[in-house]
Each structure stands twice: as structure tokens, then as C-alpha cells.
Copies of this chain bind each other. A is one copy, B any other.
């Protein structure tokens, strides 16, 4: 079998953990499998580098940030290669340039365009364990890019897809996907199998286990994912295509407390204004999540939308630069909000889910600011202080506990 494994930063944070991961890798290799391992930067490496930058510049060049941050993963793969060699196993580390991980030129948020698989294939043929830097690529000018959030997961899935790997295992510090974040909802339950579609909704809603980009890619190329812990032997959660095996209306609850809301009040009610707003934001690489537009009156309307709080500074700049052109009267930024969502493939055919959700919020005296729905999820925006209470109430309401 050809197996791609990805280990996150906490899994390789120190020497002990590096050897722990090395042992896992060797376990598979000794069974005769070909193993490709994607690694993130060690523990706090990336954060430490970002701290250094903060002393130098508040708005650093994105190209140079990628040049800087990509060193973290390179250190990880080299250290792991040294550990595996010490243990007597043949291996080689490769960075993005060596792998030929070609991406777009969007520094900080690049998309993988192509993987030149020749080098990896050659190393696999030589029976080397191949260690690949996650999170990064190079663009057509040989400049280093990074893939943004969830980048290392995406690297692993992309390699698994490109090489038609039999399995892609995502090792993390939790042992699978839960019905809700166990740190928030005490009686949350581990899910055995979940569909790409459900996982996508959970991931994009802040379940923090797998990033939606990697799941989207896995879905597109039908790569079977396993999410599991690098610290225990527990079986993880399998993410794959097909139907939801557990057949429940709601399979999970997600909470995201990094939500900021932007309200553009008194915007001109002429065609194309909303497009102009979101086009400007898209050009600035701002991901907009929930959107609400009021019905216009007196030639004016209001548009509210939510973004990740990390994007707030960039968003403020873009909005302020366009304030005249858009004819906005008042701009309001609000940070202390959280998004709580219920996800489940069975929801679309179960009319009672939405009303049960609102009932649970009413019973818990939680005020709902915005609502957004799709086929398999319902999201509500609540005060940040209410997030935990809301998640627990929903978990109980939909009987997701053990």
C-alpha cells in the first residue's frame, strides 16, 4: 500500500514526540508499505516567527512572510529524517521546491496547481520514507508560497491524490471527529464514519480537526481520510464518500468564537453595490461567511456579513478605502460573536430540525443575531459568551451524547 500520513505541529513538538512519530512511521514501513509523511512546523515555531515579525512590521510583505514561515516545516522534516536515520531506516526530506509543489502566486493563501511527482516517485522506488514539508509550495517564479490555514492537511491530501495513495491519515492531537468539541461539550462522542459533505460543513464551521480545503480536495479526488491521534492507538474517524452510515438527522455541533461582524449601514440601493463590496473583499483575499442584506428603503439598504476575526484589520482597510465609492453612511464592526452550527446529512429531509434548534435556544435564553442554512447545516450567530451554553443545549437537544 502507498500511505500518506500527516502529522501536525504538536505531534513533532519535541524530541520525544519526534521519536514517537518516527516509531509510527516505521511500523507501517516495516509492514512493507510505501510511506510518505507530511509534517507541519514544530509546536510554536510558526508563532515564534510571527512574534519576531510583529516587532519589525505591522503589515509585512506576504511574499517575505512565506519565505520566513516555510522554514518551520523544513526544520521538521529534516529533524524527522535525522531521527529515522538514527533508527536505521532509509529516508529523505523534501521541501516544496524539491517536491515540485506548484501553487498559485497568492502568498499566504496559495492554491496547489500541480505536483511534479517525479522526485517523490523516485525516492519511493528507492524504498526511502519520504518526508515532505506541509503548508508550502512554490509559484512559477520559484518563489515560496504558503497554503494558509489547514495547509499541511491540504498538502497531504494533494499528494495522496496525485500519487493515488491507498490511504491518507491525518494525525492530530485529538483522536477523531467528535459530535462537538469535547472541551466545550463534556459528553461529546467520537464519530466513527462521516461523509465528506458533513465533514466539510463541520470543518468550515470551526470543528478545527480538518480544514475544509483538505476535505474538499479529498472529496474531489475520492481520497479516503482517517483522522486520528498521534499520541494514542485509538481508531480515528474515517471521512469518505457515500451516505451517512449513522443515519441521524444531526451528526455534529460546531462552534466558532472567532467571528467578527461588519455592518454597512445606509449603502446605496442601486444594482451591483453588493457585488462591489464583496468583489473588493475577494480581491483582498477576505473570506466572507454569513451575509444578510436588508430590504432597501429610501434608496438605501444595509449589508451585514461575518468574517474571521483575523481578517478584521484587512477588512477594515478595504472597507474604509471604498467607503465613498459604495456610498456607505455608517460602518460598524463587532467582534464578540460566535457562530454555532448543527450539521447532518439527514437534516434536509427532517423538517423539525430547525424548529428544534430555535426551541433549544429559546429554552436556554440565548439571543440569535443571524441565521444561515444549507442542505445539511443550520448556523446561528450568538454572543460569544453564549457559545458554550448554546452548543451544550443543542448537543442535548439532538441526543448526541454517549
Measuring CB to CB, which residues of chain A are less than 8 angstroms from any residue of chain B? 15, 18-19, 49, 52-53, 55-57, 60-61, 63-65, 67-68, 70-72, 74-75, 77-79, 81-83, 85-86, 92-93, 95, 97-98, 119, 142-144
Number of copies: 2
B49 adjacent to A64 (CB under 8 Å): no
Q: Looking at chain A's contact residues, is the secondary structure mostly helix, strand, loop, or mixed?
A: helix
A82 adjacent to B97 (CB under 8 Å): no
A70 — which chain B residues lie within 8 A by C-beta? Answer: 74
B55 adjacent to A78 (CB under 8 Å): no
B142 adjacent to A97 (CB under 8 Å): yes
Select A79's contact among B15, B52, B72, beta carbons within 8 Å. Answer: B52
A95 adjacent to B82 (CB under 8 Å): no
Which of chain B's residues has its CB closest to A42's CB? Answer: B52
B95 adjacent to A83 (CB under 8 Å): no
Within the complex, the shortest CB–CB distance from A14 to chain B, in Å, comes to: 8
Ordered by A's residue number, 26 sampled pairs between the chains whose C-beta atoms are within 8 Å are: A15-B55, A49-B75, A52-B79, A56-B79, A57-B82, A57-B83, A60-B82, A60-B85, A61-B82, A61-B85, A63-B92, A64-B79, A64-B81, A65-B82, A67-B74, A67-B77, A67-B78, A67-B93, A67-B95, A68-B74, A68-B75, A68-B79, A70-B74, A97-B97, A98-B143, A119-B142
A75 — which chain B residues lie within 8 A by C-beta? Answer: 49, 68, 71
- Given contacts A15-B56, A56-B18, A75-B49, are A82 and B98 in contact (CB under 8 A)? no
